[in-house]
Amino acid sequence: MAIHFVSTSILSSTDGVDFSTEVSIDTEEGKRARADAAKGDNSLYDQLEERKKAKDEEYETNGKLMRGTKGMDEEDLEFFEDLAEKEAKARASTQHQENEALQQFREAQSNTSASKCRVY
């Protein structure tokens, strides 16, 4: 960030007509720009690398807190295996019921078509 892009002063007037007095203001952005300029004339690449390293370090420290370090234990594995078994049994039961219903429908359909053929 270059200092010449940051507004560092405003014009003011004592009589309300002539705005010739310049009053210097110091914003956080201006302070930061001057501090960056005072660090040295690093290339843009170096500055971006420094910022990237700082963000990576911050992410590592904050990310570890969010991630957690504990994995799944035996109790968790058993729970998920039991859950998977129950879901598989439920799916198998549903499939069996659908197959039986389809078989009954086909039998009823064939009985209906056979009775229509016997009409004289």
Is the separation of the CB atoms in 52 and 21 below 8 Å?
no
For residues 81, 84, 88, 89, the Cα torsion angle rounded to the nearest 10 degrees is 70
Tens-place pLDDT, residues 48-85: 999 999 999 988 887 766 666 667 888 988 999 999 99
Q: What angle do CA 88, 89, 94 make, to 5 degrees?
A: 100
CA end-to-end distance (rounded Å), the chain: 98
**pLDDT of 1 above 50:** no
Find the DSSP H helices in the chain: 28-39, 44-67, 74-117
Answer with the residue of higher pLDDT: 72 or 97. Answer: 97
